[in-house]
Amino acid sequence: MGKLAYVSLFVAALSVLLGERFISLRKRCLATREIVPKHLPNCVALKNLDYGSEDITILENGLAFISTGLKFPGLPSSDVPGKIFLLDLQDSQMKPVELRMPRNFDLDSFNPHGISVYIDPSDSTVYLFVVNHPQQKSQVELFKFVEEDRALEHLKTIKHELLYSVNDIVAVGVDSFYATNDHYFNQEILKVFVEPLLPLSWANVVYYSSEEVKVVSEGYFFANGINMSTDKRYIYVVEFFDQKVHVLERKEDNSLANVKSVAVGTLCDNVEVDPENGDLWLGCHPNAWKALMFDPKDPPGSEIIRIQNVHSDQPVVTQVYADNGHVIMGSSVAATYGGKLLIGSVFHKALCCDLQ
């Protein structure tokens, strides 16, 4: 058989393989799913949040931190630099206010992703951890919240070779946290094309502190949102493409042991924990293919999932909200407070709804 024949066979085999992988990826993304709207009463769009609200976390006093302006490869975005907003859920005006940032902080390249809050039990100081992607790199910014000035004081920037593709973060101390790396590779072409198509379940979770940094869990096909149980014994990790939420137990050495996984039937992004009952709230993408192949005439929808009794033998997974993209596109987070539900999105708007 001549060289040309071998080349032809190779090209044909490669085409078949890529075609099969492409079809498999579409299935994982639920590309044929059409969402049936399921709305909540009194939903209003929050002002000033026109460029996304990728992550939201709420303090016990009703103050909500919101990250906005994320530029994520392959998804729509604006040229406006990222910002952190504060929303007082006890204020009837429900108007997010941009938090003032220090002058010596590089605002032009600020590209905030996942966020987490840690409150120091010794003095009630509020620390805000922000995943930042300047020039599409990964680092974590540590701020101190100055409530009376509605400002953030930048304390330090955290970089490490194991924090190379950080998506989300959950703080467990003043200088310690768990973080998800959503990809294994750093190079854009490998992250965007090779990993999803093969597919490679090589993403991981990293523990960081000033004393040690280590991988504590791995084998994820796009590790996404991460959070912690109210008793601080368990870590919840969202696996995007496998449509699961993993429950992991924290060990004394800060490693994580797998306990169980819960299938959610949709592609979820961030996870928030209800401090009153421990329920998990997830912002999800009911048809992620529409987000990847963005068409404003056929926009990506939104879906909010609630998981009750996650540690029981029979967790209850419930769809609380759904929209076909005509109200809100690409939901990424859901957080509750006082009978209200905040819904954030990767690149669109944010909603505040009444829970029935």
Cα three-residue angle 155-160-166, rounded to 5 degrees: 85
Residue with tokens 């040690």: 212
Contact status, residue 317 vs residue 307, Cβ threshold 8 Å: yes
Which amino acid does the sequence have at 122?
S
Cα atoms in the 13 Å half-sphere on the side-chain side of 96: 28
What would the two tokens of residue 310 be?
């996650």
CA–CA separation, 169 vs 132, rounded Å? 11
Residue with tokens 């502190």: 209
Active-site hit among 113, 133, 246, 348: 113
Cβ neighbour number for residue 197 with a 10 Å cutoff: 15
* CA-based torsion, 104, 206, 167, 313: positive or negative: negative
DSSP per position, 213-272: EEEEEEEESSEEEEEE-TTSSEEEEEETTTTEEEEEEE-TTS-EEEEEEEE-SSEEEEEE
> 255 Cβ partners below 8 Å, 6+ apart?
207, 214, 216
Tell me if residue 285 is catalytic: no
Contacts 24+ apart (CB under 8 A), 61-64: 61/90, 62/88, 62/89, 62/90, 62/337, 62/338, 63/87, 63/88, 63/89, 63/147, 64/88, 64/89, 64/335, 64/337, 64/342
Residue with tokens 């950080």: 166
Q: Please give the order of strands across the beta sheet that includes 139-146.
A: 112-119, 126-132, 139-146, 151-158
Contact status, residue 336 vs residue 283, Cβ threshold 8 Å: no
Residues marked active site are found at 113
